[in-house]
Structure formats: structure tokens, C-alpha cells
Structure 1
Amino acid sequence: MTDTLIASHPLDDAVRLEPIGEGAFRGRTSAAYWNMAGPFGGTTAAIMLKAVLDHPQRRGRPIAQTVNFCAAVAEGEFEVHVRLVRDGRSTQHWQVEMRQGEAVVTTASTVTGAERETWSHAPAAPPPVAPAQDLAVFDTGGRAGWRGRYEFRYERGAPVFFEGGAEAPQGALSRNWIRDEPPRTLDFVSLAAICDTFVVKILQVRGDIPPVGTVSLTTYFMADEAALARQGNRPLLGVSDSRAFRHGFNDQSAEIWSDDGQLLAVSHQVVWFKG
């Protein structure tokens, strides 16, 4: 691992989009961010956001994004189609589709908004956690390819797998430092991907690996461009938890904090699991 930023980061390669028409882009899946049966969902979310950010009519910064993973994304090319649904004074509302052939594999709803100086109040605070440099780097060797594209340092909740699963459910709470590997200066695209870097909670709680997949992921971006620039490429603090596992689905929520204690993003997702 090195602190030296490189000219072409693997994430930038993974989210690269070629304009092919009005509101239409072409991209290709990346082996560097492959998961067990398709691309890492965080890069898919980042691609959907980048398509909006690249649209010539886009104003302001991302405020919210909901990504629905409709079907497995196959290896190879895809198209992303972006439509401005409503252009208001304060916000723009976008609909996005990722297609492979005639099939829609992912949809997204995105809101962008103009930056304004307003009254501010931040009652939330990050939990007390040891500095990143005081925690060991989590070994991602032998795990899904995308895991090697991030550096994880766990204070609590590192995934542990047991032969036949854990005897009793483990805790779902995790606290860990995260950053891109190799290091990359934080922007909204990388932040969208990082919001999905938390271990799917049933793996953490049961200690085994059943068939599993995120169905829907919503991210609220609380940071502005200046906050991301201040963070640079230093590790982010992630806090994640679940509340219920029932009928083959579970919730999963996360907070992303800068290393100086500013809340940058909040995410919520619902996950399907088998068994």
C-alpha cells in the first residue's frame, strides 16, 4: 500500500462512461471491482451517480440517490440512460436506467441541489474510535476482488466466518476506517461507492455466507464539495448496523464520517438473503 496517488485509479476506470447520445452513456464492468456473482454494488451506484453528474443539464451537487438492483449485471458492456424528470428552483430530479441489451438491470432515482449558505446544526457526533493508524489493516486476501480495492481497519465488527456458522447470532454493529486502495482523493463518486463497502450484515451476524444480495440502496449526501476536498485521501470512519432479519430480508444502515468528525453521508439498504 502506498500514499502516492496514481494517474488512473481503478475506480475511475470502473466508472468511465462514454457519451453515445442525448442522456445516454456506454460503460463496461471492471474485473477490479468484481464480487461473487457480478460487479460490486458500490461501483454500480457510483456509475449511476456519475451518469447524472456528467449530464450537461445537471446543476448543483448530489443530495440523495436510491439505487434498485433489479438483476445481476453481466460481465461486459452496459448502457446508462439518464432523464431529467423535474427541474426545480432548488432541486433537480433524475431517473436513471442501466441496460444490457433489452434488459433493465439497475434503476436509480437521484436528486441534485444547488449549494446554499443556510442555518446549520449538527447534533450527531461520531463514536469514539481509535485513530486509523492505531488499528491493524484487515486482511482481504482470498476474498471477493472488490474487497482488495479498499483498506479496512476495524475497531469493532470485523467479519469472522465459522465452520457451519456461529453458534449464536453475533452483533451487527461495525465501526471501521475505510479508504480507497490505492488511495484516491474523495469525491461524490467514490463516496457513493464507499457507502456500500460494509459487509452484508447476515454474514457478520451468522458467520456464514448464504446466497445474498442488496435489493435497494439509498444514500443521503450531507457533505459539500469543500468537505470532500478537506478530507482528501485520508481514511473515513464508517459505522454500520442492522435492526431486523425477517422473511428473507434485512435492513442495514451506515454513517460515513470524515476524520475530523463531520458527517459526510448516511445510507440505508435492504438486503435479500436465502435460508
Structure 2
Amino acid sequence: MDDLSGAPPALLDFDSALPLTAKGPRAWESQVDKRYWNAIGPWGGWTIALLLKAVLAEPDHNGTPVAMTANLMGGLDETPLTVTTRPARQGRSMEFWTSELGQGEGVAAMAMVTLGHRRDTLSAHEAQMPLVAAPETLEVPERRGGLAFGGMFDFLPAGGATILQENASTETLTWVRDGQGRALDYPLLAALADVFAPRIFYREPVRRPVSTVSMSVYFHATPAELAAVGGDFVLAQAQARRFEAGFFDQTGTLWSRDGVLLATTEQLCWFK
């Protein structure tokens, strides 16, 4: 039955957790959502999704996201946030925006967001999606505690290393989707690029303090490819390359179930 009350439709959790209220020209107010909390602050995927969403909320932005690099520079608490944006350069083919997240008098995170005008050109896949079982054939793991943001997604391990064990390789393969089946778009795709557990947890059975320092996401998916995914699972593949002197890197790829490469990501993390 149609809703004739005139009330706006209820926002899905991911959308309601990324509030943006116009504060002035290129300035937005927001608030941390504890549903997407990590160990001692908001999950990094929430932060980069908010930085991207603010750029896409600007009425004069043009194009769709093709890349973003974010630096996460400080912790956040539950006091109000301000997001400010600035178009560093707007051209006919590409736009470059900055997006800065502040709390109190300090800057906690900032990103460079690149928008592009996608055109009909050569299309080819060199990368190949790993062969894994379909999500419908996998057993749903029992959730035992864990971080708050993990409860907002459905995870189905599909192969690779086991967390908190000594593994020769840190590669993992996991089907993941929004817990409410929210349709995939660029902010959600950005968030999913940070859905991987830190690779240090796959090298030894020790929980260490870890934080993301810098993270880049490359958005390969076209709007039509995102629409084709809808609220379905995507395959998240991640692996580290080196751990040294308190830092490690990790790479990730996100695939649709029909083998379309949706996004790739690089991340540098600090650990103690």
C-alpha cells in the first residue's frame, strides 16, 4: 500500500549516519554516529564517506568520483563536526576538490577528491576476479562481539588467511554488503574500501593499536555498474606487502559478483 501521509521516507542507516546540514557557503555541519564506531573513534570508512558526500552535495560539482586520497590526522569524539569543501580546479574533463573535516579548533581529516566526466572509450579488464564460491553457498558466521561498525554490514568469508593467527600471507577474500541491502553508490563504495581488518592482525595472534594514516581509493565503476550491483554482495580482496618500523601498507580490490572491478585501494597504517 502506498504511503499517503506525505512523510518523507525513512533513511537507511548508512544515510542517516552521514548527516550534512548547510552551515554556510561550502560549509556543512555533521555528527559522529556511534553505530559506525571503531575501537576508540569512528571507523575510517565512515570518515572518508562523509568527506566524499560533502563534495557531492555541492550543487556546482560536475562529474563522478574517479579518485580520492584522504589523510586521517586525528581522533574524533561526539561533539559537532564541520566539513568544508573547496574546488581547487574545475575543468571541462576533470575537477579537483578538497574536503576538510574539523572538530573544535583542529583539523581531523582531509581529502583530495577527483571527479571526472566519463566517456565512451576503450574498455578492458586486465585484472581478474578471484575464483570463489557464490555468497548464497557460504555459511553465515556467528557474530561474537566485535567493533560496532562491523554489525552494520553482512560479511561472508570466502577464503584466505585467518585473523589473529600466524599466516604466511595476509590475503583475505570476503563477500560484504550493507546490512540493510542499501544500493551501492560512490560514498558506500568509498566506505567499503576500508572494510578490511588491518593486515597486522593476520601476521600474529596479537591485537595491537592500529590506525590508518593515509588512504587512496580509485573508483573504476561507472554509475551504471553501481546500479547493476544494487544492494548485492561485493567481493572484498585485501593483502599487505610489508610491515616495518611501525608502519604497514595494505591493498584492496572490490568486485561485483559478475567480475566487474569496482574499486581499488591503497592504505598506509601505523601500528604499535
SS in 1 for 2:203: helix
SS in 2 for 1:206: coil
Contact 1:141 1:148 (8 Å CA) reproduced: no
Distance in 2 between residues matched to 1:214 and 1:179, nearest whole Å: 22
The correspondence for 1:94, drawn from 94, 97, 119, is: 97
2:40 matched residue in structure 1: 37
The correspondence for 2:73, drawn from 66, 70, 75, is: 70
2:155 matched residue in structure 1: 152
Distance in 2 between residues matched to 1:14 and 1:77, nearest whole Å: 13
Distance in 2 between residues matched to 1:30 and 1:260, nearest whole Å: 33
1:27 equivalent in alignment to 2:37: no
1:230 matched residue in structure 2: 228
SS in 2 for 1:148: helix
1:38-97: CA deviations, max 9, x gaps? 001001000000000001110010010111000011123100000000112210001111
Deviation at 1:10, TM superposition (A): 1.2
1:53 equivalent in alignment to 2:51: no
Contact 2:210 2:271 (8 Å CA) reproduced: yes
1:217-267: CA deviations, max 9, x gaps? 100000011100000111001111001000100010000001111000000
Deviation at 1:175, TM superposition (A): 0.5
Deviation at 1:157, TM superposition (A): 3.5
The runs of 5 or more residues in structure 1 that have no matched partner are 1-5
Contact 2:132 2:159 (8 Å CA) reproduced: no
Q: Counterpart amino acid of 2:12?
A: H
Q: Structure 2 length normalisation: TM-score?
A: 0.94
| CA RMSD in angstroms, aligned pairs only | 1.3
Distance in 2 between residues matched to 1:99 and 1:21, nearest whole Å: 15
2:219 matched residue in structure 1: 221
SS in 1 for 2:149: helix
Deviation at 1:16, TM superposition (A): 1.7
Distance in 2 between residues matched to 1:234 and 1:49, nearest whole Å: 22
Distance in 1 between residues matched to 2:19 and 2:269, nearest whole Å: 27
Q: Counterpart amino acid of 2:271?
A: F
Distance in 2 between residues matched to 1:142 and 1:39, nearest whole Å: 17
Deviation at 1:208, TM superposition (A): 1.9
Contact 2:161 2:169 (8 Å CA) reproduced: no
Contact 2:161 2:167 (8 Å CA) reproduced: no
1:173 matched residue in structure 2: 171
The runs of 5 or more residues in structure 2 that have no matched partner are 1-8
Distance in 2 between residues matched to 1:24 and 1:138, nearest whole Å: 42
Distance in 1 between residues matched to 2:116 and 2:217, nearest whole Å: 14
Deviation at 1:158, TM superposition (A): 5.9
Contact 1:252 1:268 (8 Å CA) reproduced: yes
1:132 equivalent in alignment to 2:135: yes
Deviation at 1:170, TM superposition (A): 4.6
Distance in 1 between residues matched to 2:59 and 2:109, nearest whole Å: 22
1:85 matched residue in structure 2: 88
Paired residues, number: 264
Identical aligned pairs, as a percentage? 37
